[in-house]
Amino acid sequence: MLQTRVIPCLLLKDDSLVKTINFKKPGYIGDPVNTARIFNELEVDELAVLDITATNNKRQPNFKILSELANECFMPLAYGGGIRTFDDAKKMFQIGIEKVIINTITFDKPEFITQLAAHFGNQAIVVAIDVKKNMFGKYQVFSNSGRKKQKVNVIDWAKKLEQLGAGEILLTAIHQEGTWNGFDIELIESITNAVDIPVIANGGAANLKDIEQVVKKGNASAVSLGSMVVYQNKGMGVLVNFPNRKELESAIRK
């Protein structure tokens, strides 16, 4: 297992996997279960799946596909999207999901984090923070897959999530997501310095150098990869892959 977790993050839309750019323009990637099989063969340590339409469409998670994924995956599986009730979360753990990822619901019901953490343990609760940098360089927090701006300060919000019982934060820079332009190190470092729980950096990775920088400069506890593990390269076709493990270990060794 890698010293710093490097986690493929797959985006689910209806029954298929897609990849977005700045949370827009979803491009088809493939079948979720077949993709999970490939990551099994590549022996990744952890896998995350986010349903990008469940919350905005006000529907439950796709438990059928998630059950198939949980049965297929050899590695721990985290899932986010459309989890709004205790029963939703409970069903996730019953089918074999190891962590739930929540976001939008936390703005209306912050106590939901505490409820889940008290019952399932902090380690099983990941709270996502989606952040966009505006034209003035100010960071703004969004919910609803980047559609709704929230009136919270990102650092204060991260601290509050930790106090409420979040076990990890999945921090996504919307302005970097899918761009291959590297992580927003400034954003990530500001959050890792503010909280004591693990921060998973997400959005923008293009190569091993980006991963090295976000771990060593941004102090990320884990790294989430999207485009880099589903495409051959920028502007090229779909190819499910994972960085060479020895090169990865060398890059992230502190």
pLDDT, one tens digit per residue, over 62-109 is 999 999 999 999 999 999 999 999 999 999 999 999 999 999 999 999
Q: Which residue has the tokens 């796709």?
A: 62
- 23: closest CA among 104, 144, 105? 144
- Cα gap 83→78, rounded to integer Å: 12
* pLDDT band, residue 1 (cuts 50/70/90): low
Four-residue CA torsion sign, 220, 248, 181, 226? negative
Work out the mean pLDDT of the chain and round it to a whole number: 96
Number of domains in the chain: 1
DSSP code of residue 113: H
pTM attached to this predicted model: 0.97
- Cα gap 12→51, rounded to integer Å: 4
Residues recognised as catalytic? 130
User: In the prediction, which pLDDT does 2 show?
Assistant: 65
Give me the helices (H) in the chain, please.
Answer: 32-41, 63-72, 86-95, 105-108, 111-120, 154-164, 185-192, 208-216, 227-230, 245-252
Phi then psi for 134, rounded to 5 degrees?
Answer: -85, 180
- Cα gap 223→46, rounded to integer Å: 11
Phi then psi for 221, rounded to 5 degrees?
Answer: -80, -25
CATH number at residue 124: 3.20.20.70
Range of the domain at 67: 5-252
pLDDT digits (tens, 9 = 90+) for 201-227: 999 999 999 999 999 999 999 999 999
User: In the prediction, which pLDDT does 253 show?
Assistant: 83
pLDDT higher at 153 or 250: 153
Those residues with Cβ within 8 angstroms of residue 50's Cβ, 6 or more apart along the chain or in another chain? 9, 10, 11, 12, 79, 80, 81, 101, 128
Please say if the pLDDT value at position 247 is more than 70. Answer: yes
Provide the b/e sequence for 190-216 (b: ≥16 CB within 10 Å): bbbebbebbbbbbbbbbebebbbbbbe
